[in-house]
Amino acid sequence: MTSFKPIVFSGVQPTGNLHLGNYLGAIKKFVALQQSHDCIYCVVDMHAITVWQDPVELMNSTREVTAAFLAAGIDAEKHIVFNQSRVAQHAELAWVFNCVARMGWLNRMTQFKEKAGKDRENASVGLFSYPNLMASDILVYRATHVPVGDDQKQHLELCRDIAQKFNNDYSERIADLKLGVEMMVGREKINGYFPLTEPLIEGPATRIMSLRDGTKKMSKSDPSDLSRINLTDDTDAIAKKFRKARTDPDALPSESAGLAGRPEADNLVGIYAALADSSKDDVLREFGGRQFSEFKPALADLAVANLAPVAGEMRRISRDLTYIDGVLGDGAAKARTIAGETMGHVRDIVGLLQD
């Protein structure tokens, strides 16, 4: 029995500053997965333009996210790093998926509702069909695992629904062309062309919250810069933001169950645990019973120790545009080989004549 080769894919949008949520929820995991998997990491510039972007800033941000990937320790020689728009097959497969996914599925996407707000009529069509492009990013490489933060969970469920419907709609044709791979869906063994990709959403930092409000996600778009730690913040800014971080007046509990109903405390302990590669319980074994006035400086020191080398390396790499553009160009060439083969199969499966 053949089965899908394990492949990791993930993407980050080049829109504004990267923050601690992006780092702990995604990029740090990208780095770790390189040890065990073939990885493809993409700067998703076509996702960015679902909302208008200043063209020059978009180009700068695309290079900046690339610099962050490299500075954090992603190895672009052993793995693949590129920007999405350079590999035309992402958009091509997304069109096929526009015809597979149902309006009802996309209507349920909470992120579209949040981003479009009250003015849905005025949102771009791209913002609505965004999850189909995301499914195409993943499935054009037939990726099996996708490390992301918790906010992307619903989009990954949709990706599985699309893969499943495609496999089902074209099952006979996939079998005739002998393009199927055997896989288990629940207790049923089926033959499909696309894998049902697994999200990797694990550990203490799947949803880092705003430092100003423990019920809101840390985000690039929050108007308050004090709400987030940017990857480019210096030592003083990091210390200040943790010092000013909102907390409650109680001491830290001695185990993680005691964090229930204390979102700000839970968030800061989760950040510490993720930075230290430990668990909330481990952190509370050390800090349980202590006040935030003691915990916050320790947290700031740990964050600086983790982030300062990345920020320094990012600054260094960012100065070398030729190097960054070379990485993106080489990565795109490698990506195109895989994506081209998939699109060739998809055209055959769907019945689109090709050369």
CA-to-CA distance for 35 and 74, rounded, in angstroms?
10
CB of 24 to ligand TYM, least distance (A): 6
CA distance 261 to 117: 28
- Contact region for ligand TYM (CB under 6 A) — 133-141, 164-172, 187-195, 345-353? 133-141
Stretch that binds ligand TYM, among 146-154, 257-265, 274-282, 325-333 (CB under 6 A): 146-154
Among positions 43, 69, 149, 245, the unique one binding ligand TYM when judged by CB under 6 A? 149
Q: Which residues pair with 181 in a beta bridge?
A: 192
| Residue selected from 44, 252, 271, 300 as contacting ligand TYM according to rule CB under 6 A | 44
With contacts defined by CB under 6 A, name the span among 21-29, 121-129, 267-275, 277-285 that binds ligand TYM.
21-29
In this chain, which of 31, 51, 73, 151 binds ligand TYM, going by CB under 6 A? 151
Considering only residues 59-78, where is the footprint of ligand TYM by CB under 6 A?
A: none
How far apart CA 134 and CA 123 sit, in angstroms, is: 18
- Name the 3-class secondary structure at 220: coil
Whether residue 274 contacts residue 204, with contact meaning beta carbons closer than 8 Å, is answered with: yes
| 191: exposed, middle or buried (Cβ count in 10 Å: 0-12, 13-18, 19+) | middle
- In whole angstroms, give the CA distance from residue 55 to residue 11: 20
Residues facing residue 82 across a β-bridge: 42
101 sits near ligand TYM (criterion: CB under 6 A): no
- Residue 22 binds ligand TYM, judged by CB under 6 A: yes
Which of residues 135 and 174 has its CB atom nearest to ligand TYM in the complex? 135
If one asks whether residue 270 binds ligand TYM (CB under 6 A), the answer comes out as no
**Residue placing its CB nearer to ligand TYM in the complex, 51 or 350:** 51
10 near ligand TYM, judged by CB under 6 A: yes
Question: Closer to ligand TYM at the Cβ: 254 or 278?
Answer: 278
* Token representation of residue 333: 């060439």
Select the span of 19-27, 71-79, 117-125, 188-196 touching ligand TYM (CB under 6 A): 19-27
Decide whether 142 or 217 has the Cβ nearer to ligand TYM: 217
Residue linked to tokens 């550990």: 203
Using rule CB under 6 A, residue 140 touches ligand TYM: no
With CB under 6 A as the contact rule, the residue among 40, 138, 259, 310 that binds ligand TYM is: 138
Q: DSSP letter string over 48-66?
A: HTTS---HHHHHHHHHHHH
Rounded distance, CA 264 to CA 246, Å?
7
In angstroms, how far is the first alpha carbon of the chain from the final one? 31
Cα–Cα distance between 261 and 267 in angstroms, integer? 11
| 11: contact with ligand TYM by CB under 6 A | yes
Active site residues: 115, 217, 220
Secondary element (H or E) of residue 71 = helix 55-72
Told to check if 266 binds ligand TYM by CB under 6 A, we report: no
Residues 197-216 that bind ligand TYM (CB under 6 A): 206-208
Total residues at interface with ligand TYM (CB under 6 A): 24
Among the listed residues 39, 146, 273, 284, the single contact to ligand TYM using CB under 6 A:
146
**In sequence order, what DSSP letters do the residues of 256-277 get, joined into one string?**
GGGGTT-HHHHHHHHHHHHHTT
| 21: contact with ligand TYM by CB under 6 A | yes
Measured between alpha carbons, how far is residue 23 from residues 27, 88, 112, 125 in Å? 5, 28, 23, 29
Q: In the complex, which residues of this chain contact ligand TYM (CB under 6 A)?
A: 9-13, 21-22, 25-26, 44, 47, 134, 137-138, 146, 148-149, 151-152, 206-208, 217-218
